[in-house]
């Protein structure tokens, strides 16, 4: 698998009308990259998931997220971890 995983914190910022289109383009590219990465994550075997510390339930939850549903917190990439508090 030749996927490169990158940080996806390119949320659209409020910009002037002149800067709105480039900001939307960056946001759309981030959404498409998230979609590809989640698809690739779903293709990993159980053994590969164990190697990176994920379960099938983690992957299923991540793959069900919408492409515009970004990282768990601003400035952080990766799989959202759910914890019982």
Confidence of residue 85 (pLDDT cuts 50, 70, 90): very low
Q: Do 9 and 75 meet the contact criterion of CB atoms below 8 Å apart?
A: yes
Give pTM, 2 decimals. 0.59
Per-residue model confidence as pLDDT tens digits over 6-36: 555 555 555 567 788 899 999 999 999 999 9
pLDDT band of residue 73 (cuts 50, 70, 90) is very low
Question: How far apart (Å, rounded) are the C-alpha atoms in residues 85 and 27?
Answer: 32
Reduce the secondary structure of 16-62 to three states and give it as a string. Answer: CHHHHHHHHHHHHHHHHHHHHHHHHHHCCCHHHHHHCCCCHHHHHHH
Cα(10)–Cα(12) distance, rounded to whole angstroms?
6
User: What are the residue boundaries of the structural domains of the chain, listed by start?
Assistant: 17-63
**Cβ atoms of residues 38 and 68 within 8 Å:** no
């Amino acid at each position: 698998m030749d996927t490169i995983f990158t940080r996806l914190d390119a949320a659209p910022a409020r910009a002037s009308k002149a800067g709105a289109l480039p900001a939307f383009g960056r946001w759309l590219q981030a959404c498409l990259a998230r979609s590809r990465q989640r698809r690739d994550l779903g293709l990993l075997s159980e053994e590969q998931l164990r190697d990176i510390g994920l379960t099938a339930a983690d992957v299923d939850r991540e793959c069900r997220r919408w492409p515009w549903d970004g990282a768990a917190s601003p400035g952080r990439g990766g799989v959202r971890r759910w914890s019982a508090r």
